[in-house]
Structure 1
Amino acid sequence: MSGDEDDWFESADDGPFDESEDEELFEEDFESAFESGGGGEDFEEDFESEIPRIDLGIEGLDEMVQGGVPERSLLAVMGAAGTGKTTFGLQFLQRGIENDEKAIFIALEESRDAVIQAAEEKGWPFEEYIDDRKLAVVDLDPIEMANSLTSIRGDLPRLVDDFDAQRLVLDSVSLLEMMYDKQAERRMEIFDFTRALKEAGVTTMVTSEASEGNPYASRHGIIEYLTDGVFVLQYVRSEFRETRLAVEIQKIRNANHSRETKPYEITSDGISVYQQANIF
């Protein structure tokens, strides 16, 4: 871990994973833990307008979500390497800062400097935001993270509260999942981690590697069940072997949204979704 944020992650009182946990009971609780309405059905009428909404900050994609995503929801962006998951997260924070919100980026795979450089290349002055205390960028060493996941999870609400953040990005949750060999332990730890994110009271976006055989599923098939919204980024190849990037909203609880698959590009200004275009 680097930066002035070191003291945000102190030891927590949570105990270690108990392998005697009743896995059958866990299976019953797993998919229902964050129930707040379905995400895959066709909605016949609008949801209550008093639910606070926020924009993602991605042109075209915001128009595909009626009224914006619900505030304080937990969102996942899934995709293969090169589909722009990190850019998606950076752009999400950029919009928040433009709206006078504070933001936190937690990097599990890239260094703090690499994250800042990636944002600066898109014209987003993250270094300036950090100096003005509008943004905190925290990077965690994989070895340190493996030894202190419980304390990190326990300190997330305090991190958000101390910084008064409204948006948070965790890039990526796949690295957390890879730390566990046993599926039951992996599911329980990610379950607890996502619950801590929701309890922090901040709109959170996590990135996740997609399954090699199924772009609509994460690598370990966990995170999509624990989040309120899922955005799928994928490569689509036509019969003429032309490959394009495409985005689809798999679900957003408590919000109407388009179910079409739309092309997008990653440019020097970030991600742009062509809402009016078709894939081919």
Structure 2
Amino acid sequence: MVRVLALRSVPNLWRNEDSHPRVPWLHNILTYNCSVHLKFLRLFIMPPTLLLIRHAQALHNVSNDWTIHDPPLSELGRQQCAELQQSLKASKIADEVDLIVVSSMRRTLETAVLGLDWLINDKKIKVLPNAGWQENADKPCDTGSAISVMEKEFPQLDFSQVDPRYPDKTTDIDNNPYAYTKQAIMARGQMVLKELYSRPEKVIAVVSHSGFLRTAVCNRRFFNADWRVFDYDEDAMRQSRQKGEGADSTGRFILKEWKETEEKGGGMGRSEKGIFTNFSADFPPDPPKIPETGEVTEENPVPGAN
């Protein structure tokens, strides 16, 4: 038996603000055969819009004390979560969020639970803690806590899909996707963008960190609890594929910011405007190259040794 549905019932095909489908050439098609595999249909539907949010102020931001392990939000940070919620409620984009992805670290989890609580509790939007969106460095403040600890602090969240390697950043550096190396960080940025690109949701909110967002995701600065909106830049990605860039020369995943948040300096207008490329200080120096003879060909002095 062939089932026939109106295209308006297809998730992600229609935008709330107009009557046109997200795929213009399907405008005059009124029905489709439900037996067609959904993956085939997904080929003709736009990837999700990303609402990227930086966590609110945490204790290490107050004192610049990087020795605080996986710090919680400060009192000001909690106030910023209320301001974040007010700002998002005033925007149209928040009404379209149908998935929340959040770094598994304490300050991002607290920001999501406090700043997005109406989405989580009232609209029952699913929350996915994800190790891929954690901060870059391996300092105590940028190293997460064991999932068993987080499960007790946030019993309302499901941590079952978090990579069991989390929060380790320091073992098996060459193969650890969370290692504090330029190669690992840039690869992780592409990994998380690839994961979200193929998801069926229309708008995905992501709560992450300033360093990771700037260096590996979108080259933008974020003030605490500020937010920006991005779409996948299909034209730039097509050019990247043609140039053979990215892993296995298949092209890079590239984002393009919405004009509204780009010109304003974030949704709350608190973030620095502009595009910010990476600096050498963003990453640790590359390890010395060891030839087959075992001799070190380059010397990398230990910081502070002189």
The higher radius of gyration belongs to 2
TM-score by length of 2: 0.32
Greater RCO structure (CA 8 Å; 6+ sep): 1
Name the one with the larger strand percent: 1
TM-score by length of 1: 0.34
